[in-house]
């Protein structure tokens, strides 16, 4: 049991050191726009209870909120393809961020309706 306790402390210390290094790199990258930009969005942080959580870096260049809400995208998609919505996700498609609204049609076919997150325009469908 004693060996296990020492191993657990060593693992926790390593995780804490790694988290501190990643936080430092993320801060340094945030002060140098264009460099290491992928490290500035979130960083893992080890808390005293040994849990690891992702924490957003306040200086990050996070993507702006979509102009079209999820609810609006669902309504637009249902007008294009009637049925029951089974899932909605934001994905990069056709060079834009779109809501991929998955709809089960009354005929039992699954169709994805692609709704532009900025304009609400239906960009197309995928089966």
Given this model, what pLDDT does residue 90 score? 94
Look at residue 11 and tell me if it is in a domain. yes
Same domain for 75 and 122, yes or no, is: yes
What is the phi/psi pair of residue 120, to 5°? 80, 5
**Residue-level pLDDT at 40:** 45
Q: How many domains in the chain?
A: 2
**10-30 b/e (C-beta count within 10 Å ≥ 16 → b):** eeeeeebeebeeebeebeebb
Q: Whole domain around residue 104: which residue ranges?
A: 70-126
3-state secondary structure of 3: helix
Rounded to whole angstroms, the Cα distance separating 120 from 122 reads: 7
Instruction: Note whether 89 and 45 are same-domain residues.
Output: no
- The whole-number pLDDT of residue 5 equals 55
What global pTM score does this model have? 0.52
Q: Does residue 25 contact residue 36 with C-beta atoms inside 8 Å? A: yes
> pLDDT tens digits for the chain (127 residues)?
455 555 556 555 565 556 555 555 555 444 454 444 444 455 565 555 555 555 555 545 556 688 999 999 999 999 999 999 999 999 998 788 999 999 999 999 999 999 999 999 999 999 8
8 Å CB contact between 73 and 115? yes
């Amino acid at each position: 049991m004693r060996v296990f306790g020492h191993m657990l402390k060593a693992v926790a210390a390593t995780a804490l050191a790694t988290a501190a290094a990643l936080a430092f790199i993320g801060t340094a990258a945030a002060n140098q726009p264009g460099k290491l930009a992928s490290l500035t969005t979130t960083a893992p942080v080890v808390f005293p209870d040994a849990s690891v959580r992702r924490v957003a870096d306040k200086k990050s260049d996070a993507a702006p909120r979509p102009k079209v809400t999820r609810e609006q995208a669902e309504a637009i998609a249902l007008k294009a393809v009637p049925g029951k919505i089974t899932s909605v996700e934001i994905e990069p498609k056709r060079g834009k961020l779109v809501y991929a609204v998955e709809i089960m049609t009354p005929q039992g076919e699954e169709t994805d309706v692609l709704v532009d997150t900025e304009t609400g325009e239906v960009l197309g469908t995928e089966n």
